[in-house]
């Protein structure tokens, strides 16, 4: 059975009917909505907006009782009532706005009720005209939620609702014979939108004092004024927030305690046990799990004192989301600092029981700890929380059985999920599924539908009347292997910033105030390693390292990143070797065993890297160790007679290595290992590589057995075996750390390493087909791919180890004169032998330069486009020039179809050689060329996105001089047909609107549907203000083709662009924008810092075209702005100074006059000239 529609006016009244029948019946009579009682007295429908209407008072009395009704309510019933409250204040805000805007004129409208209904397109039966009211009342009202707080919802989603509601009511009133003039025009729409928002904000803040959820929504985001108003609305609430610490989710607990009665029913025995199990974690040490801390001379703070709430990024999943890509997150999201408020908003809202919340983070980011603290902080009388460690359950079990497995571990008895869920009917059920990545890795699947299964589980539970919220944690790395349902909110945990590092160190130092010999650590001591200290796990390792008095201090200026990692790893290895032996070992034994442990860890790191993963299974690692680190004796057995494998011995007790096990208690469970931070593995790979190169330096120095050879050829068989599977450029820290290790060597060894690399590069073509270690096969490869990978790694090492000196091609690739053929054949080998990621990473890293001779060097400038980089690496200047000029026409959806390639050539020729050459009127050849292109599009010839974007730009630029029918035909191929296409297209709405403005009568032909405008601006928000200015210019141009349809189109552009006017880009803004902004407009951006920055950039180019009077008018609007982000006076004066300088005005010549005084003087002189001319 589907859930009732909550966010509609009818839904609100229906829900309120459950709790307050008398008042609802009264509202039903006055509003004429027969959805509850089946019939009603015929109303005066226009009294909906009448200030004297008793229905409005009835609604207000309903709202007055909401606070009382919330007491004792929980779960879905509470969600429904809160949704109803929000819907009512939003709809009432629109009616209140009409009341203010229409005023007494409303009473002069004399029209029968039947005529009013016909205006809505309805013909009610008899006197039951109430059947037409759904057109007014059945509106979708977007409410705030965790992913869209109060301010963001009001600015974008709710503003659209207000615009739609205004149109509906205006349309209802528009057919009246004596209609007031203010019903028309953008000024009325703007006034209605502004007043509706003001009324809504007033109602909302009024209810926020009584409804905790309203307060939480308003605290989300960065709108300081709203947060301050919320705190003023409830002094006790503000005091409670100020009193709590910001760590260990105490703010989260305080926020949700507003919903809580604080009393857990005593009969709920299982709930009480779950509460005890959850809260116990707060008193445990911060470093948990199987890590041995007995040899660490320091005290770990408790979770309650030491857990620091991280920053985070937030998105809602859609088909283009790339949750495993750091770059995608950086480009599309911003860091937030209110994770307590976000989690409170999510878990107190209805969306949490519809779709799971996915929490992503890198290894060691604190995902599991966040889950444990979250469980501990949820008020037990309002929430029933179950934590499921996914590594301890069977992957093939359904979700409810996995929960039952976790319950059995907590209760030491079998407890069914259904029984617990029914027992907790008066609370919100929360399930925390920790470690989805472990489920993926240990089970070995490539794609998982687990998150979809969780969503289905939530749906089934909701159908049974027991909705459940679910939170899933996972490493980012495996997020691309999950099928994530559209709409799932995703949180990515961020590294620590300086403030969080300080708070963490404070907890560490406080916990050790009584520790003998303890050395407190400050952030100043970590300044050389601040990038590492921002990662919670590495920070923990750093403080453990610093706690050892035998280690050099961390603020040593000579301590490189590579040396630090080496010391960290060696200190943990030595601690294990010395302190895990049954008797005190000799120093020789310690040295030997430490070297063996380091080598084994290096093989483990290569086992992961060479398989293209960041983890390795126990079976795979045992296979690799058998080849490169064979065991000396039979593996000992544990007390359970389970042999300890080489893999287990390699990783045991190193808490920077994480062991994941699927159903870890079962005999058939599979273990997998990974470094809690990838840099540990990358360092070990670099160390193994440099160790082998140094060994070859020693071999190279030995005299050759053959007296005709100067030295013995280096034996690179082991090096080839280990580094010929994956290119190092896929993980650039490997090369950076190798360079750090190389720099620490003495000069003679560095010279020897470079010489060995030179020898290996010259001879890699001659490598024999025989494999020196045939038993080592971490991945499927070919001879070509291994030779390509090996040679690429050798060249990268040679170039990047000695990066200050370019590597000459002549010394590595023998060739005659200036021929680059041997080098180019090697580059082509890399292109054919490396996979796509490896090849792309290689051309991103290396390039070829010519300064009298050819040199290989590191790429310093990141040119756009792989093809251009490839040409540069080949040393092919002709190809490079062609790639750079032609790449703008090409995107990744191009095909090699002859007709598409022919069309592309025609388009490029028209844009480059023909368009823009004949002034305002096109010549036949020009028009015929474009017509030919469009005719091919008519015939179905495909055109890639890049070419369409070029054609759109050119058509926008040339439309004014082209025939209207040609422009129309072209636009019909460029304009998206659906909202989905608006997201996919790279065409900017400004260009489409520009072409339409060149021929205003195109609007009447429906070329650019108004309903697509909001979707177009959503994908290209930076062009919103230019588009508004452009339509205004057209409206005021005096063009006879500008008719009523275009006026309406201009208004629609303004409304669609309105939510995005707060962002901007100077690239498209016309100079006339200053004229537009000089006076108040119905649609305009906030006069804040963003707009000032954009205009500052524009004014440099067009200062001579902007008159001083116009510029002064714009400046005064900034000075008088009430925008929250109003620029300070210094910024405004800098804006004026730059404008005057660009106009050649020397302020200093004016004596003591300031820049504003000079501008006012120039504006006054301009006014005088205009008056004299008049």
Q: Supply the pLDDT for residue 28.
A: 40
Q: Supply the pLDDT for residue 658.
A: 60
User: 3-state DSSP call for residue 482?
Assistant: strand
| DSSP annotation of 1003 | G
Q: Supply the pLDDT for residue 168.
A: 67
Q: What residues does each domain of the chain span?
A: 9-212, 310-494, 516-675
Mean pLDDT, residues 998-1002 taken together? 93
Residue 206 has pLDDT above 60, yes or no: yes
The winner for highest mean pLDDT among 440-454, 716-730, 758-772, 808-822 is 716-730
Nearest to 9 by CA among 59, 46, 77: 59
Residue 359 has pLDDT above 90, yes or no: yes
Least confident span in 40-44, 817-821, 823-827: 40-44
What is the token pair recorded at 115? 């005529």
Mean pLDDT, residues 295-310 taken together? 85
Mean pLDDT, residues 759-770 taken together? 77
Least confident span in 119-133, 206-220, 551-565: 119-133
Mean pLDDT, residues 681-703 taken together? 91
- Cβ proximity of 403 and 358 under 8 Å: no
Q: What is the pLDDT of residues 411-422, one digit of tens each?
A: 889 999 999 998
Rounded to 5 degrees, φ, ψ at 711 are -150, 165
Q: Supply the pLDDT for residue 834.
A: 93
3-state helix, strand, coil in the chain (%, to 5): 60, 5, 35
Mean pLDDT, residues 1028-1039 taken together? 92
Nearest to 40 by CA among 162, 133, 123, 112: 133
Q: Supply the pLDDT for residue 679.
A: 84
Q: What is the pLDDT of residues 275-293, one digit of tens each?
A: 899 999 999 988 765 455 5
Q: Supply the pLDDT for residue 116.
A: 35
Confidence of residue 74 (pLDDT cuts 50, 70, 90): low
Q: Supply the pLDDT for residue 507.
A: 92
Q: Supply the pLDDT for residue 37.
A: 27
Starting at the earlier edge strand, list the strands of the sheet with 657-661. 616-617, 671-675, 657-661
Confidence of residue 652 (pLDDT cuts 50, 70, 90): low
Mean pLDDT, residues 905-911 taken together? 88
Residue 310 has pLDDT above 80, yes or no: yes
The rounded distance, in Å, linking the Cα atoms of 534 and 526 is 10
| DSSP annotation of 712 | P
Q: What is the pLDDT of residues 922-939, one digit of tens each?
A: 567 778 889 999 999 999
Q: Supply the pLDDT for residue 753.
A: 95
Higher pLDDT, 25 or 81: 81
Return all residues near 981 (Cβ < 8 A) that are at least 6 apart.
none
- Cβ proximity of 823 and 813 under 8 Å: yes
Question: Could you give the maximum distance between any two Cα atoms of the chain, in Å?
Answer: 118
Q: Supply the pLDDT for residue 25.
A: 43
Q: Supply the pLDDT for residue 280.
A: 92
Residue 849 has pLDDT above 90, yes or no: no
Residue 530 has pLDDT above 50, yes or no: yes
Least confident span in 97-106, 442-451, 626-635, 704-713: 704-713
Least confident span in 13-27, 300-314, 601-615: 13-27
**Within 10 A of 659 (CB to CB), how many other CB atoms are there?**
21
Higher pLDDT, 659 or 1047: 1047
Q: Supply the pLDDT for residue 1150.
A: 55
Confidence of residue 338 (pLDDT cuts 50, 70, 90): confident
Q: Supply the pLDDT for residue 640.
A: 36
* Crossing angle of helices 866-874 and 877-886, rounded to 10°: 170
**Which residue carries 């927030």 as its tokens?**
241
10 Å CB burial of residue 336 (0-12, 13-18, 19+) is middle
Return all residues near 977 (Cβ < 8 A) that are at least 6 apart.
none
Over the chain, what is the mean pLDDT?
78
What is the token pair recorded at 867? 């093809």
Q: Supply the pLDDT for residue 1049.
A: 92
User: 3-state DSSP call for residue 313?
Assistant: strand
Least confident span in 8-22, 687-701, 715-729: 8-22
Higher pLDDT, 484 or 803: 484
Q: Supply the pLDDT for residue 380.
A: 85
Q: Supply the pLDDT for residue 1.
A: 34
- Cβ proximity of 9 and 87 under 8 Å: yes
Q: Report the DSSP pairing between strands 383-389 and 468-475.
A: unpaired
Tell me the residue length of the chain. 1174
Higher pLDDT, 38 or 151: 151
**Within 10 A of 954 (CB to CB), how many other CB atoms are there?**
20
Q: Supply the pLDDT for residue 133.
A: 35
Nearest to 492 by CA among 328, 612, 352, 349: 328
Q: Supply the pLDDT for residue 395.
A: 83
DSSP codes joined into one string, 134-183: HHHH----PPPBTTB-HHHIIIIIIHHHHHHHHHHHHHHHHT-TT--GGG
Residue 20 has pLDDT above 50, yes or no: no
Q: What is the pLDDT of residues 207-259, one digit of tens each?
A: 777 778 888 887 886 554 555 555 555 555 555 555 555 566 777 777 777 77
Q: Supply the pLDDT for residue 45.
A: 31
Portion of the chain with pLDDT greater than 90, in percent: 26
Q: Supply the pLDDT for residue 1112.
A: 92
Higher pLDDT, 365 or 484: 484
CA 18 to chain centroid, in Å, comes to 41
Residue 969 has pLDDT above 60, yes or no: yes
Return all residues near 476 (Cβ < 8 A) that are at least 6 apart.
323, 324, 326, 360, 361, 362, 492
Q: Specify the long-range contacts of residues 546-553, CB closer than 8 Å, at least 24 apart.
A: 546/519, 546/521, 547/296, 547/297, 547/298, 547/512, 547/518, 547/519, 548/297, 549/517, 549/519, 553/525
The winner for highest mean pLDDT among 64-68, 471-475, 567-571 is 471-475
Q: What is the pLDDT of residues 535-548, one digit of tens each?
A: 888 888 888 888 87
CATH number of the domain located at residue range(s) 310-494 in this protein? 3.40.50
User: Across-strand partners of 673?
Assistant: 616, 659
Q: Supply the pLDDT for residue 606.
A: 95
CA dihedral sign, ordered 230, 231, 233, 238: positive
Determine the Cα angle at 932 with ends 930 and 935, to 5°: 110
């Amino acid at each position: 059975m589907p859930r009732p529609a909550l966010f509609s006016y009818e839904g609100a009244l229906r829900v309120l009917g459950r709790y307050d029948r008398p008042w609802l019946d009264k509202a039903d009579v006055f509003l004429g909505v027969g959805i509850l009682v089946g019939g009603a007295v015929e109303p005066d429908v226009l009294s909906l907006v009448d200030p004297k209407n008793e229905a409005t008072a009835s609604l207000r009395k309903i709202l007055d009782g909401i606070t009382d009704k919330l007491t004792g309510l929980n779960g879905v019933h509470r969600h429904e009532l809160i949704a109803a409250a929000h819907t009512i204040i939003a709809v009432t805000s629109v009616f209140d706005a009409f009341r203010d805007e229409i005023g007494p004129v409303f009473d002069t409208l004399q029209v029968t009720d039947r005529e009013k209904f016909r205006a809505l397109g309805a013909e009610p039966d008899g006197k039951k005209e109430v059947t037409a009211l759904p057109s007014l009342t059945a509106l979708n009202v977007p409410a705030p939620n965790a992913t869209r707080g109060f301010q963001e919802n009001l600015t974008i989603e709710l503003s659209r609702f207000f615009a739609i509601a205004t149109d509906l009511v205006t349309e209802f009133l528009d057919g009246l014979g004596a209609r007031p003039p203010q019903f028309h025009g953008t000024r009325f729409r703007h006034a209605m939108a502004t007043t509706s928002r003001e009324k809504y904000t007033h109602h909302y803040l009024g209810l926020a004092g009584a409804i905790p959820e309203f307060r939480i929504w308003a605290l989300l985001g960065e709108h300081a004024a709203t947060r301050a108003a919320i705190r003023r609305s409830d002094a006790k609430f503000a005091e409670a927030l100020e009193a709590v610490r910001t760590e260990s989710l105490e703010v989260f607990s305080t926020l949700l305690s507003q919903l809580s009665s604080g009393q857990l029913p005593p009969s709920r025995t299982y709930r009480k046990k779950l509460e005890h199990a959850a809260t116990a974690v707060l008193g445990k040490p911060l470093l948990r799990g199987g890590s041995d801390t007995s040899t660490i001379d320091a005290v770990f703070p408790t979770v309650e004192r030491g857990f620091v709430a991280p920053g985070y990024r937030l998105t809602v999943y859609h088909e283009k989301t790339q949750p495993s890509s750091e770059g995608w997150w950086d480009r599309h999201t911003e860091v937030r600092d209110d994770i307590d408020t976000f989690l409170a908003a999510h878990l107190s809202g209805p969306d949490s029981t519809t779709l799971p919340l996915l929490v992503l983070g890198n290894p060691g980011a604190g995902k599991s700890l966040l889950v444990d603290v979250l469980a501990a902080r949820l008020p037990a009388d309002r929430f029933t929380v179950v934590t499921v460690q996914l590594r301890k359950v069977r992957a093939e079990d359904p979700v409810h059985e996995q929960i039952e497995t976790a319950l059995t571990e907590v209760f030491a008895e079998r407890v069914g999920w259904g029984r617990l869920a029914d027992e907790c009917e008066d609370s919100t059920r929360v399930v925390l599924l920790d470690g989805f990545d472990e489920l993926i890795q240990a089970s070995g699947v490539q794609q998982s539908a687990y998150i979809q299964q969780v969503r289905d589980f939530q749906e089934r539970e909701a159908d049974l009347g027991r909705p459940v919220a679910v939170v899933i944690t996972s490493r980012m790395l495996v997020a691309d292997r999950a099928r994530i349902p559209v709409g799932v909110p995703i949180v990515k945990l961020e590294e620590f910033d300086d403030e969080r590092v300080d708070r963490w160190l404070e907890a560490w130092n406080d916990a050790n105030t009584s520790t003998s010999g303890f050395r407190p650590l400050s952030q100043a001591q970590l300044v050389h390693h601040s990038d590492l200290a921002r990662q919670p796990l590495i920070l923990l390792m750093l403080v453990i390292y610093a706690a050892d008095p035998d280690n050099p201090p961390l603020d040593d200026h000579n301590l490189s990143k590579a040396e630090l990692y080496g010391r960290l790893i060696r200190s943990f290895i030595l601690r294990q070797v010395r302190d895990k032996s049954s008797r005190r070992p000799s120093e020789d034994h310690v040295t030997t065993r430490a070297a063996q442990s380091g080598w084994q860890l290096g093989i483990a790191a290569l086992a992961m890297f060479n398989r293209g993963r960041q983890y390795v299974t126990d079976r795979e690692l045992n296979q690799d160790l058998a080849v490169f680190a064979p065991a000396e004796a039979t593996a000992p057995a544990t007390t359970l007679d389970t042999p300890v494998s080489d893999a287990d011995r390699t990783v045991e007790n190193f808490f920077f290595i994480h062991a994941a096990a699927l159903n870890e208690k079962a005999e058939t469970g599979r273990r997998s290992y990974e470094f809690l931070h990838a840099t540990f593995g990358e360092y070990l790979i670099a160390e193994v590589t440099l160790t082998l190169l140094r060994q070859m330096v020693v071999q190279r120095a030995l005299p050759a057995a053959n007296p005709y050879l100067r030295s013995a050829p280096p034996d690179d068989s082991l090096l080839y075996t280990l580094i010929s599977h994956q290119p190092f450029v896929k993980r650039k820290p490997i090369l950076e750390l190798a360079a750090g290790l190389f720099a620490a060597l003495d000069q003679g060894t560095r010279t020897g390493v470079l010489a060995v690399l030179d020898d290996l590069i010259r001879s890699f073509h001659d490598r024999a087909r025989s494999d020196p270690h045939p038993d080592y096969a971490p991945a499927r490869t070919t001879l070509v791919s291994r030779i390509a990978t090996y040679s690429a790694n050798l060249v990268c090492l040679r170039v990047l180890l000695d990066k200050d000196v370019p590597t000459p091609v002549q010394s590595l690739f023998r060739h005659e004169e200036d021929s680059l053929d041997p080098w180019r054949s090697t580059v082509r080998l890399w292109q054919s032998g490396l996979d796509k990621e490896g090849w792309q990473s290689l051309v991103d890293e290396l390039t070829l330069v010519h300064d009298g001779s050819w040199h290989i060097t590191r790429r310093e400038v990141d040119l756009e486009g792989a093809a251009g980089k490839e040409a540069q690496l080949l040393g092919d200047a002709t190809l490079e020039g062609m790639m750079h000029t032609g790449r703008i026409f090409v995107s990744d959806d191009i095909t090699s179809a002859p007709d598409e390639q022919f069309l592309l050539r025609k388009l490029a020729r028209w844009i480059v050689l023909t368009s823009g050459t004949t002034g305002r009127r096109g010549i036949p050849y020009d028009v015929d060329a474009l017509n030919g292109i469009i005719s091919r599009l008519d015939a179905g010839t495909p055109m890639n996105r890049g070419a369409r974007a070029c054609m759109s730009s050119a058509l926008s630029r040339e439309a004014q001089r082209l025939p209207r029918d040609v422009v129309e035909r072209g636009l019909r191929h460029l304009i998206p047909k659906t909202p989905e296409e608006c997201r996919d297209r790279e065409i900017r709405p400004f260009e489409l609107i520009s072409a339409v403005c060149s021929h205003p009568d195109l609007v009447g032909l429906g070329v650019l549907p108004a309903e697509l405008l909001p979707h177009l601006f959503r994908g290209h928000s930076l062009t919103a203000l230019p588009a508004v200015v452009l339509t205004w210019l057209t409206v005021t141009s005096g063009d006879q083709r500008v008719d009523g349809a275009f006026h309406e189109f201009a208004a629609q552009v303004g409304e669609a662009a309105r939510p995005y006017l707060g962002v901007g880009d100077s690239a498209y803004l016309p100079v006339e924008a200053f004229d537009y902004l000089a006076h108040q407009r119905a649609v305009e951006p906030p006069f804040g810092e963003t707009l000032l920055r954009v205009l500052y950039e524009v004014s440099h180019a067009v200062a001579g075209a902007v008159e001083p009077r116009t510029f002064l008018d714009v400046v005064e609007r900034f000075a008088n702005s009430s925008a929250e982000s109003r620029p300070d006076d210094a910024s405004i004066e800098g804006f004026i100074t730059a404008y005057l300088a660009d106009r050649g005005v020397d302020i200093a010549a004016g004596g003591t006059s300031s820049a504003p005084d000079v501008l006012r003087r120039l504006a006054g002189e301009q006014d005088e000239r205009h008056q004299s001319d008049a």
